[in-house]
Amino acid sequence: MSNVKCIGILTSGGDAPGMNAAIRAVTRSAIYNGIKVKGIYRGYKGLIIDEIEEFKTQNVSNIIQRGGTILKTARCAEFRTPEGRKTAYDRLVQHGIDALVAIGGDGTLTGARVFAQEYNYPIIGLPGTIDNDLFGTDVTIGYDTALNTIIECVDKIRDTATSHERLFFIEVMGRDAGFLALNGAIASGAEAAIIPEMSVEKDQLAEMIENGFRKSKNSSIVLVAESEVTGGAMGVAERVKNQYPQFDVRVSILGHLQRGGSPSAQDRILATRMGVAAIDAILEDQRNVMIGIQNDNIVYVPFSKAIKNDKPINPDLLNTLRISSI
Ligand code: F6P
């Protein structure tokens, strides 16, 4: 049985819908199990500069439906330095925090891993990112809501694309991963997705679009994952404009609106399950693992696996998009 009497909780990196649901579940599950909770504001930055407050169950009332994170978030350069991490460790000791729950994406878990190794300190990670790019979990908190936001936007763009018979390149987030673009394309009925995991030659792309236009379609929508590899929607549109001046091409970059909004039912349930599982993990004396979900079962994924491996794209999805968009 664990000796943890008090945990700290923080959110770090890009926010994701469902982070509040996770904060609520971690807090309530900890208190239910007799563990004190300290909320740490602004991620690792708040830990270093001492923005820490005790959380009771009321602190997390009325937040499950809210997007963003009540704990605020930041990307913290100082935590990447040994001096910054030393100050962070001193703060944890000063506040009597015996273990940390860190909610965030790749950068957050990378920081957690380094710190945990350096100070032999127990940290449980929750995958909170719209990018869905963490290995060892089928989905991450925020991904489903972001997908729903994307399809809502694409549906609207399609109206004007159809009226004007235009070819739209719509850029979605994902950092270096194509999950949002590929599944967003399937769910919105787009003609194609350009993702970094799959290299699309410009001729192939143009041919695909041209065929679509010539056959039966009076508009085309292509989702492009932001990434240096794809060149983003602007880069792809430029290439197509140069080679196929007959197309009336437009670009839409969805940007940060993909990170906002009330979390979907799926994200609220996922975040709540993972939040409760984080405390179970602490009670079981687990350390330095990310809570994941695989085939609807909670799993513990060592940080080293979650952040070091590239999460593969399911090739079935590529085929599904190809077939369904003819
Ligand atoms: O990792 C989440 C994410 O939204 C990425 O999809 C995107 O590349 C990045 O964060 C944007 O970060 P920022 O909010 O710092 O512009």
* Residue range(s) occupied by CATH 3.40.50.460 in the chain: 144-259
126, 290 in Cβ contact below 8 A?
yes
> Which tokens is 152 given?
């809502």
DSSP 264: P
- Give residue-wise pLDDT tens across range 106-115: 999 999 999 9
**pLDDT value at position 219?**
76
Distance CA(50)–CA(308), nearest Å, equals 30
Please say whether the beta carbons of 300 and 286 come within 8 A: yes
- Return the exposure string of 177-194: e unless at least 16 CB atoms fall within 10 Å of the residue's CB, then b: bbbbbbbbbbebebbbbb
What pLDDT score does 311 carry? 94
CB of 131 closer than 6 angstroms to any ligand 1 atom: yes
For position 49, what pLDDT does the model report? 97
User: In 10 A of CB 315, how many CB atoms?
Assistant: 10
CA torsion 179→154→144→66, rounded to 10°?
140
pLDDT at 158: 96
Residue 297, C-beta contacts closer than 8 angstroms, at least 6 positions apart:
none
Residue-by-residue pLDDT tens, the chain, 326 positions: 789 999 999 999 999 999 999 999 999 999 999 999 999 999 999 999 999 999 999 999 999 999 999 999 999 999 999 999 999 999 999 999 999 999 999 999 999 999 999 999 999 999 999 999 999 999 999 999 999 999 999 999 999 999 999 999 999 999 999 999 999 999 999 989 999 998 655 556 766 666 666 566 667 899 999 999 889 999 999 988 898 888 899 999 999 999 999 999 999 999 999 999 999 999 999 999 999 999 999 999 999 999 988 899 999 999 999 899 88
Q: What is the pLDDT of residues 37-91, one digit of tens each?
A: 999 999 999 999 999 999 999 999 999 999 999 999 999 999 999 999 999 999 9
Return the pLDDT at 244.
83
Cα(14) to centroid(ligand 1), Å: 5
Q: Which residues pair with 37 in a beta bridge?
A: 7, 55
Two tokens at 156?
């609207």
Q: Is the CB of 39 under 6 A from ligand 1?
A: no
Pick the CATH number of 6-142+263-308 from 3.30.1490.20, 3.40.640.10, 3.40.50.450, 3.40.190.10: 3.40.50.450
Residue with tokens 């070819």: 167
Q: Are 18 and 270 in contact (CB under 8 A)?
A: yes
Residue nearest to atom 10 of ligand 1 (CA): 14
**pLDDT in the model for residue 212:** 67
pTM for the whole structure: 0.96
Q: Hunting for tokens 């787009």 — which residue is that?
A: 190
Q: Whose CA is nearest to atom 7 of ligand 1?
A: 175
Q: Single out the residue of 191, 185, 177, 192 nearest to residue 228, CA to CA.
A: 177
Residue 258 Cα to ligand 1 midpoint, Å, equals 10
Q: Quick one: which atom of ligand 1 is closest to the CA of 173?
A: 6
Query: CATH classification of 144-259, choosing from 3.30.300.30, 3.30.70.520, 3.30.70.270, 3.40.50.460?
Result: 3.40.50.460
What burial class does residue 83 get, using C-beta atoms within 10 Å of its C-beta: 0-12 exposed, 13-18 middle, 19+ buried? exposed
From-to residues of CATH 3.40.50.450 in the chain: 6-142+263-308
**What is the per-residue pLDDT for 258?**
98
CA separation (Å) from 265 to 21, 126, 145, 194?
A: 11, 18, 9, 28
Torsion, Cα of 57, 71, 268, 276 (10° steps): -50
Residues belonging to the chain: 326
Are 47 and 10 in contact, with CB atoms under 8 Å apart? yes
Q: What is the pLDDT of residue 326?
A: 81
Catalytic residues: 131
Alpha carbon of residue 302 to chain centroid: 18
